[in-house]
Amino acid sequence: MEGAHNPDRFMGDLRQILSQGRKRIGILVGAGAPLSVRLDDKGKLSPSGSPLIPGVEALTTAAMSALSEAQGDALTGIKADLGDGVNIETLLSRVRLLQTALGKSKVHGLDGDDYKQLGSDICAGIAKVVAADLPKERTPYHEIVSWIGGTQRAHAVEIFTTNYDLLFEQAFEAANAPYFDGFAGGHAPFFDPVTVAGNDLPPRWSRIWKLHGSLGWKIADQVVVRTGNRESADLVYPDHLKYDLTQKQPYSALFERLKQFLLTPDTVLLAVGFSFRDAHISAVLGEALAMNANAAVLAFQFRGLKDEEAVRKLAFEHPNLSVYASDAAVIGGVEGTWRPGDPPKNWGEIRASFWGSRIAKEPPSFLLGDFGSFCRFCALSSSSDISRSAPDTPADEEAAIVEE
């Protein structure tokens, strides 16, 4: 490490930004976010429960649970070919490569058409797993929506997410808070790239941009519509085709919105639950940050800095991207361990919202890489008298796995 960073200083500045409502704020949310919502076997919130939507390994297993015996045998063969580190991304990439390359020839017992069906079935399995409903109890999603709606704003908060689930939509609707997701109409809302590119709606209307698509999207007569039916899932799944697919509508408009957001003066993008291993999103971020020195990205990472190499590298290339990992940070291009100083008067309870032990008897660490802690910090940013116990979600290995 090259130095040390005091988290009190940076979180004090961030807390002020969050409470004032003057800056243009965006939030980039990855697949690590739903891991903070845990349910017991009765469907009630519980710190020791299972994630509402599982991590990558569990998602891979669940998405394949309904496959036929022949499909399962083919995937077993593919896993053996790929070796260690197999996940849903690498499997789908190989399946779709075989789909386009084989024709009537067979590999692991399946021909090209069979692999096309296998890819479709895996995607349907993913959609089924991520179709979970947000509990009616108070969750991090409810808390962050409360923060968004509880402050008078000069600009709308924009949420960019790679997730296919409808958890943000459900949280906004539970709070009767208006949002716009790029679709217009009532009977079969259609995607409108012109409105996505503009800023005609009032600031109280938050924006939700689904960068990889969403449950309920469907292509009808070459137009993307929102059906309200979760079985419709025209998504950009994490495979080798992802970059090509994002050059088409509606994805090209959504990625352009992300780029233009970062090119606007005086903007802050807060990233949480996002691994930065998604090369085409990182490329957009890097290009925009190089073009606009007045934009800032703050990346809150769950794991230690040495395990966050993708975003660490990006932070060295772009000083206006800062990484806040559990044990260390890269701020202004300078890497250093966390070293809290002597807290100012009445600061102890505020510090507890971003610094503490994730589980009993563990040394304290930076907490905001956990989506639940991040949302709580945002919700409490306007309070001068806060009381916060240890985080509600345990730190286990699964919560450290994110995938876009």
Residue range 205-230, pLDDT digits in tens: 999 999 888 888 877 777 888 887 76
Higher pLDDT, 65 or 398: 65
Give the confidence band of 365 by pLDDT, cuts at 50, 70, 90: very high
What pLDDT, on the 0 to 100 scale, is given for residue 291? 94
What pLDDT, on the 0 to 100 scale, is given for residue 50? 87
Least confident range from 53-62, 139-148, 193-202: namely: 53-62
Give a yes or no: residue 50 inside a domain. no
DSSP state of 107: B
Report the DSSP pairing between strands 206-210 and 217-220: unpaired
CB atoms within 10 A of CB 67: 16
Q: How large a percentage of the chain has pLDDT more than 90? A: 42
What pLDDT, on the 0 to 100 scale, is given for residue 390? 39
Residue range 260-298, pLDDT digits in tens: 999 998 899 999 999 888 878 899 999 999 999 999 999
Range of the domain at 116: 56-129
pLDDT greater than 50 at residue 69: yes
Give a yes or no: residue 103 inside a domain. yes
Give a yes or no: residue 49 inside a domain. no
Coil, strand or helix at 110: strand
* Last residue of one domain, picked from the residues 129, 159, 185: 129
**Residues β-bridged to residue 225:** 190, 218
Average pLDDT over residues 6-31: 90
* Last residue of one domain, picked from the residues 106, 129, 152: 129
Count of alpha carbons within 13 Å of 227, Cβ hemisphere only? 16
* Last residue of one domain, picked from the residues 73, 94, 129: 129
Q: Are 4 and 336 in contact (CB under 8 A)?
A: yes
Considering the domain architecture, whether residues 12 and 79 belong to the same structural domain is answered as no
DSSP strands (E only) in 237-374: 267-272, 296-300, 321-324, 328-331, 334-338, 355-356, 365-366
Q: How large a percentage of the chain has pLDDT more than 70? A: 89
Whole-number average pLDDT of the chain = 85
**Residues β-bridged to residue 329:** 324, 336
What pLDDT, on the 0 to 100 scale, is given for residue 46? 87
Give a yes or no: residue 14 inside a domain. yes
Give a yes or no: residue 47 inside a domain. no
Coil, strand or helix at 232: coil
Considering the domain architecture, whether residues 36 and 78 belong to the same structural domain is answered as no
Give a yes or no: residue 268 inside a domain. yes
What pLDDT, on the 0 to 100 scale, is given for residue 370? 95
What pLDDT, on the 0 to 100 scale, is given for residue 402? 43
Residue type, 108: H
**In angstroms, what is the C-alpha Rg of the chain?**
21
> Which three-class secondary structure string do you get for 288-324?
HHHHCCCCEEEEECCCCHHHCHHHHHHHHHCCCEEEE
Residue with tokens 């956990």: 370
Give a yes or no: residue 48 inside a domain. no
pLDDT greater than 90 at residue 326: yes
Considering the domain architecture, whether residues 191 and 87 belong to the same structural domain is answered as no
Give the confidence band of 392 by pLDDT, cuts at 50, 70, 90: very low
CB atoms within 10 A of CB 291: 11
Write the CB contacts of 163 (distance below 8 Å, at least 6 apart in sequence): 29, 30, 31, 33, 34, 130, 210, 212
Considering the domain architecture, whether residues 146 and 121 belong to the same structural domain is answered as no
| Number of domains the chain contains | 2
Q: Which two tokens stand for residue 195?
A: 């409105």
Considering the domain architecture, whether residues 152 and 174 belong to the same structural domain is answered as yes
Considering the domain architecture, whether residues 124 and 141 belong to the same structural domain is answered as no
Higher pLDDT, 382 or 255: 255
What pLDDT, on the 0 to 100 scale, is given for residue 274? 92
Distances (CA, A) of 358 to 40, 176, 341, 351: 20, 33, 20, 14
Give the confidence band of 241 by pLDDT, cuts at 50, 70, 90: low
Give the confidence band of 325 by pLDDT, cuts at 50, 70, 90: very high
Phi-psi region of 339 (alpha: psi -120 to 50; beta: other; left: phi over 0): beta
Higher pLDDT, 65 or 26: 26
CA angle in degrees (0–180, nearest 5) for 380-158-33: 60
Considering the domain architecture, whether residues 20 and 154 belong to the same structural domain is answered as yes
Give the confidence band of 231 by pLDDT, cuts at 50, 70, 90: low
Considering the domain architecture, whether residues 113 and 211 belong to the same structural domain is answered as no
Q: How far apart are CA 22 and CA 268, in angstroms?
A: 11
Q: Which two tokens stand for residue 306?
A: 């040495």
Considering the domain architecture, whether residues 21 and 107 belong to the same structural domain is answered as no
Average pLDDT over residues 85-109: 82
Write the CB contacts of 273 (distance below 8 Å, at least 6 apart in sequence): 29, 30, 31, 32, 33, 35, 302, 371, 402
Least confident range from 117-126, 136-145, 186-195, 231-240: namely: 231-240
Average pLDDT over residues 110-120: 89
What pLDDT, on the 0 to 100 scale, is given for residue 156? 93
Q: How far apart are CA 77 and CA 314, in angstroms?
A: 36
Q: Which two tokens stand for residue 385?
A: 């008298």
What pLDDT, on the 0 to 100 scale, is given for residue 245? 54
Considering the domain architecture, whether residues 253 and 277 belong to the same structural domain is answered as yes
What pLDDT, on the 0 to 100 scale, is given for residue 142? 95
Give a yes or no: residue 51 inside a domain. no
Considering the domain architecture, whether residues 199 and 250 belong to the same structural domain is answered as yes
Considering the domain architecture, whether residues 122 and 229 belong to the same structural domain is answered as no
